[in-house]
A and B are shown apart, each in its own frame.
Chain A
Amino acid sequence: MQKNKEKLEQIIFNDYILKPFINQVHKDLNAFCINEEFFKYIELGKATSKIRDSLQKQSFVSKNIGLVVNDDLETYASIFAIWLEGLAYVPLHPLQPIERNIEIISQAEVGLILDSSFDNKYEKFRKINTNELLFTKFNLEINKIEDSELAYILFTSGSTGKPKGVSITRENVGAFMKSFFEIGFDITEKDRCLQPFDLTFDVSVQSYLVPLTKGACTYTIPHNQIKFSYVYGLLDDHKITFGAMAPSMLRYLKPYFDEIEIPSMRYNILTAEASPVELVDEWIKCVPNARLFNFYGPTEATIYCTYYEIDRKIENKSLNGMYSIGKAMKGLESVILFDGAITKKPGIKGELCIAGNQVTPGYWKNESKNKDSFIIKKINHNELRFYRTGDSCYFDQDGDILLFGRIDHQVKIQGYRIELGEIEYKVRDYLNGVNAIAIAFTNKNGNTELALFIESSEVSSDDVKNYLATKLPLYMIPSKLYFLKEFPLNTSGKINRLELKSLIK
C-alpha cells in the first residue's frame, strides 16, 4: 500500500504536462494565435472546463475518444479535457476520406467523438459538438491517474491495407517532455512557438506542449492555407522564436532564401524526415541567431528519440548528404541489431533499436505486428524491451548515429510515413487483383513523390486516382501512373523495382 502511494505521488504526466499547463491558465498571456486571432490562456482554460464538464456527464465503455482535429481553440481544449479525465484521444483529420476515419473509429473502438465542426459528418456516432457548449465554472482539478493509461493513439499507414494504431501512454509523453527540456531548451512566457503540423502527426504534440507548459504562445496553420508561404508569414510577421519544421517545407522556401531573415528564431528543429546537408546549410543563414537541431524519432518511441545539434562553426557529421541523427535522448537506450544480436560497437551497420520509457506498449490490438516489432535483449545484465525502428544505421567512434534509410519499403512523404504496400493493396482491390507497385522517387525540386506501376492494359489514370482519393489521404495518392503489359523481373524472379524506377520521367 505504501509503495502504491509513492508511485501515485510521482506521476510523470501530471508533473511535466498537466500541472505546468494548469499553472498558466490564470496568467494574462496569449496561448494561441489561430488564423490571425489571439486567444488567452484563460479562454483555453474555460474551453477546456466546458468540454470536461460535458465529458463528465457521459458514461464510457471505451476510454478512446475520437477527436476531429480542426484548427481551432476547441480542438486543443478538447485534448486537455480528455487528458484531465484520464482518457485518450484518437485524431480524425477533417480533410481525410471519411471512410478511413470510420475505419480508425472502428479499430480504436471509439465510443464518443468530440467535434467542433459545423457539419454532420459523424451524425451516426455518439458525438459532442464542442462549439455549442457553454462555460459555467472552471473545472481544471488534476486527478491522480496512472501513467500507464493511454494519452493518444495515432494511426499510421499499414502494409496490410489497414492503418495501424500506435498506443502512446501518459508515461511515454511525460518522459518525452522531461528529456526534451533536459537538452536545455529555455522556453519562457516571452516565446512565440510554431505549430505547423497536423494533429494526426506526433510532432504536433511537441509543437503545442512545449509552449503551453511554459506560458508561451502557439502559432498554428489554418487548413485552407498554403503551408510554406503561411509559415513564412508567421516567422516574419510574428517573429517566431521556437519551431520544429520538416525539411520538405524548407525545400519549398528554398527559391526565396535570399529574401528570408528571421533573427528572432532562437531554436530551430528539423525533423520528420532526413535532413539534407546542402539544404540546411543554406537555410541556416536565414535564421542567423538560432541553434539548429536535427531530431529523429518514430511515432512508436514518442515524437523524438535521438538528436544532433548542428554547429555553425565546424563541419558536421553526415552520411550520403544527410545529417547525423546524433545520440539518444536521456532515459533511452539505442543499439544496432545485426545478425540477431545487439551491439553499440562503432561501424556495424544494422537496424536501429530503441528502449526506454518513451517506447509504446504496442500497437492497438495487433498481436502479430507487436511480435514482429519488439524484441527483448540483455544489455549490461538488464533485460530491455526494444522497438525495432526499421531504419538502417550505424554508430561512429563518438557514438553518434548515422542513418542510411528504411530497411523495408516504408517511405516518407511530407513527413508522413507510408507503407507502399498499402497503396498497392488498394489498387489491386480496385482493379481485380492486377499487379501494382508503388515507388517513391525524388522530383526536380528534391521532394519525394510517388509513382504507381500497374501491370495491365491502360485504364483511365483519373479513375484510379479518384478511387484512391476516396480511400487514402492526399499525400498517399501517386502523382505519376504507368501501365505496363508485363513487369520486369530480376534474377530471383521478383519484380525489379530498380528497373521500374528507371522508367519514371
Chain B
Amino acid sequence: MNKTKITQEVEAIFRKVFDDDKLVINMTMTANDVDNWDSLTHMLLIVEVENTFNIKFKLRDLNKMKNVGDMIDLLVLKIG
C-alpha cells in the first residue's frame, strides 16, 4: 500500500473516531489541533489503525509518534 492510500485510510479512521465527517488530517497535526484527542480517544484511534492495517504497534512506537506524519511514516515502514 502506498503512502497516499495509507493517508486516505488513516483520515477515514480519524473521521470515525472523532465523529467528524469533515476532519482533514495533515502531517504536522498533533493532539493539540483536534478536539477531544486525549488518552481515551488516542487508544481508540490506535486500536482502529491496528485493526484496519492488521498490525500491532509497540509502546515504543507510540511514544515516538509526535504527530500524524510520524504515524503515517511508521505505517509506510510496516506495510508500505
Query: B30: which of A224, A462, A474 is its contact (CB, 8 Å)?
Result: A224
B27 → chain A closest CB, angstroms:
16
Contact bitstring B3-20, A, C-beta under 8 A = 1, else 0: 000000000000000010
Contact B59 A224 (CB under 8 A): no
Task: For A256, list chain B residues within 8 Å (CB).
Answer: 58-59, 62
Which chain B residue shows the least CB distance to A224? B32
Partner of A228, one of B39, B58, B60, B65: B39
Tell whether A227 pairs with B39 under 8 Å between CB atoms, given A232-B63, A233-B63.
Answer: yes
The CA of A233 and the CA of B43, in the complex, are separated in Å by 16
Point out the residue from B38, B43, B58 that lies within 8 Å of A445, measured CB to CB. Answer: B43
Asked if B59 and A253 sit within 8 Å, CB to CB, the answer is yes
Tell me if A260 is interfacial: C-beta within 8 Å of chain B.
yes
Residue of A nearest to B20 (CB): A462
In the assembled complex, A367 has its CB within 8 A of some CB on chain B = no
Q: How large is the interface on B (under 10, 10 to 19, 20 to 34, 35 or more residues)?
A: 10 to 19
Expressed in whole angstroms, the Cα–Cα distance for A249 and B39 within the complex equals: 9
Answer yes or no: A259 CB below 8 A from chain B CBs.
yes
Quick one: closest A residue to B38, CB to CB?
Answer: A474
Complex interface: chain B residues within 8 A of A225 (CB): 31
B1 at the interface (CB under 8 A from A): no
B63 in contact with A447 (CB, 8 Å): no
Instruction: Tell me, yes or no, whether A252 is within 8 Å of chain B by CB.
Output: yes
> Once the chains bind, are B42 and A226 in contact (CB under 8 Å)?
yes
The proximity string for A residues 388-426 relative to B, scoring 1 for CB distances below 8 Å and 0 otherwise, is 000000000000000000000000001000000000000
Please tell me if A370 contacts chain B, counting CB pairs below 8 Å: no
Is the CB–CB distance between B38 and A230 below 8 Å? no
Q: Does B52 contact A (CB under 8 A)?
A: no
Give the CA-CA distance A342 to B39 in the complex, in Å: 42
For B65, the closest partner residue in chain A by CB is A229
Known: A224-B30, A226-B31. A259 touches B58 (CB 8 A): yes
Interface check B36, CB cutoff 8 A: yes
* Number of residues on chain A facing chain B (CB within 8 A): 22
Q: A229, B62: Cβ atoms under 8 Å?
A: yes
- Write the nearest CB–CB distance from B6 to chain A, whole angstroms: 21
B36 touches A224 (CB 8 A): no
- Does the CB pair B31–A224 fall under 8 Å? yes
A477 (CB) vs chain B CBs: closest residue: B36
B59 touches A232 (CB 8 A): yes
* A interface secondary structure, majority: helix
B40 at the interface (CB under 8 A from A): yes
For residues 194 through 246 of chain A, which have their beta carbon under 8 Å from a beta carbon of chain B?
Answer: 224-230, 232-233, 236
Alpha-carbon distance A164/B30, docked complex (angstroms):
34
The answer to whether A447 touches B31 (Cβ under 8 A) is no
Is the pair B59, A474 in contact by a Cβ cutoff of 8 Å?
A: no
A-chain residues with CB within 8 Å of residue B59 when the two chains form the complex: 229, 232, 253, 256, 259-260
Q: How far is the CA of A447 from the CA of B41 in the complex (A)?
A: 13
List the B side residues contacting A226 at CB < 8 Å: 31, 38-39, 42, 62
B residues less than 8 Å from A233 (CB atoms)? 63
- Look across to chain B and name the residue whose beta carbon is closest to the beta carbon of A228: B39
A324 to B30, CA, bound (A): 40
The contact string, 1 if C-beta is below 8 Å from chain B, for chain A 363-399, is 0000000000000000000000000000000000000
Residue of B nearest to A248 (CB): B39
B62 A447 Cβ-Cβ under 8 A: no
B71 to chain A minimum Cβ distance, whole angstroms, is 12
Nearest chain B residue, comparing its CB with the CB of A466: B35
Q: Find residues 446-484 in chain A having any chain B CB closer than 8 Å to their own CB.
A: 447, 462, 474, 479
Contact across chains for A229 and B63 when beta carbons are under 8 A apart: yes
> With a CB–CB cut-off of 8 A, which chain B residues contact A229?
42, 59, 62-63, 65
CA distance A178 to B38 in the complex (A): 36
* Complex alpha-carbon distance, A227 and B40, angstroms: 10
Distance in angstroms from A71 CB to nearest chain B CB is 12
With A256-B58, A260-B59: A447-B30 Cβ-Cβ less than 8 Å: no
List, in ascending order, chain B residues with CB within 8 A of A445's CB.
43
Within the complex, the shortest CB–CB distance from A198 to chain B, in Å, comes to: 12
Return chain A residues, CB-CB under 8 Å to B42: 226, 229
Chain A hits for B60, CB < 8 A: 236, 259
Bound-complex Cα distance A242 to B56 (A): 30
Q: Which residue of A lies closest to B45 (CB)?
A: A226
Among A225, A226, A414, chain B packs the most CB atoms within 10 A around the CB of A226
Identify 11 residue pairs between A and B in the complex whose beta-carbon atoms are under 8 Å apart, listed by A's number.
A224-B30, A225-B31, A226-B38, A226-B62, A227-B39, A232-B62, A236-B63, A249-B39, A256-B59, A256-B62, A414-B39
Q: Which of B's residues lie within 8 Å of A, judged by CB?
A: 19, 30-32, 36, 38-40, 42-43, 58-60, 62-63, 65
Closest 8 interchain pairs by CB? A256-B59, A233-B63, A224-B32, A229-B62, A229-B63, A226-B42, A259-B59, A227-B39
4 other A-B residue contacts (CB within 8 Å) besides A252-B43, A414-B39 = A233-B63, A256-B59, A462-B19, A474-B38
